[in-house]
Amino acid sequence: MATVRKNNLNTTKEALILHAMHLFAQKGYEGASIREIIEKTGVTRPVVYYYFKNKEDLFCQLVESLFEESEKNLNDIYDNQVGCRERLTALIHSTFEKAQDQPVGVRFIMRFYMAPPDGEMRVDKELFVQKRAEILTKIMQEGLDAGELSGNDAATLAVFFFSLMDMQILAMARKDEHQLTEELADGIIDFFFKGANV
């Protein structure tokens, strides 16, 4: 096992994850190699295996960390905001800001969903989608109960809202000139609430 100075542990691992994310986003899981990740990061092979069992472990840790961050953000918004509109506004602003700051991460997740690696992996993307949907459906149900929303069931409203938000993120990932601005986020919120209350 490689000898790595303790104060460089996080920095080295973060560099490996960053370069791996770029390569996975660009080439997919099968197209990116450990050799390329090593060359981009400027470390030796034993250093990679100090942190990760293999390429699959590196890939899975990367996906899991992004999923956990997204789930934590959604839970924090639910816990710290009151009311359906306030929670949805905080969610779309936070999501747009993170996506705008991390376009490579968005492209990585897009590739993972659209062209997943061959074979089984320990990452359960359907579980993440389910957890995300459950929290948003809960927000929508509370909005319906409070009279902030009407006309649809909570699960349908959750899918509709995710569609409005996620399609803008996909557009940003495909075209660098598409900006996820605060004005765009507020416009989507206004559209959602006016449409839901017609």
What is the pLDDT at residue 53? 93
Domain count, the chain: 2
Q: What is the CATH number of the domain that holds 170?
A: 1.10.357.10
Q: What is the CATH number of the domain that holds 32?
A: 1.10.10.60
- Last-in-domain residue among 9, 29, 52: 52
The reply to whether 100 and 192 lie within a common domain is yes
Tokens of 154: 């909570």
The reply to whether 43 and 69 lie within a common domain is no
What is the pLDDT at residue 57? 93
The reply to whether 79 and 31 lie within a common domain is no
CB 36 within 8 A of CB 23: yes
Nearest-angstrom CA–CA distance, 77 and 87: 6
Tell me if 185 is assigned to some domain: yes
Closest by Cα among 120, 17, 101, 118 to 63:
17
What is the pLDDT at residue 179? 92
The reply to whether 116 and 31 lie within a common domain is no
The reply to whether 88 and 186 lie within a common domain is yes
Rg (CA), the chain: 19
CB 51 within 8 A of CB 139: no
Tell me if 143 is assigned to some domain: yes
The reply to whether 39 and 71 lie within a common domain is no
CB 161 within 8 A of CB 88: yes
What is the pLDDT at residue 77? 96
Structural domain including 137 reads: 62-196
Taking the model in full, what pTM does it have? Answer: 0.84
The reply to whether 14 and 68 lie within a common domain is no
What is the pLDDT at residue 114? 79
What is the pLDDT at residue 173? 84
The reply to whether 153 and 81 lie within a common domain is yes
The reply to whether 4 and 86 lie within a common domain is no
Tell me if 57 is assigned to some domain: no
What is the pLDDT at residue 10? 65
The reply to whether 15 and 108 lie within a common domain is no
What is the pLDDT at residue 110? 86
Nearest-angstrom CA–CA distance, 21 and 62: 7
Which residue stretches of the chain have pLDDT < 70?
A: 1-10, 195-198
The reply to whether 159 and 74 lie within a common domain is yes
Please give the angle made by the CA atoms of 28, 34 and 39, to the nearest 5 degrees. Answer: 110
Q: For the chain, give percent helix, strand, coil, nearest 5.
A: 80, 0, 20
Nearest-angstrom CA–CA distance, 143 and 92: 16
Tokens of 185: 């986020």
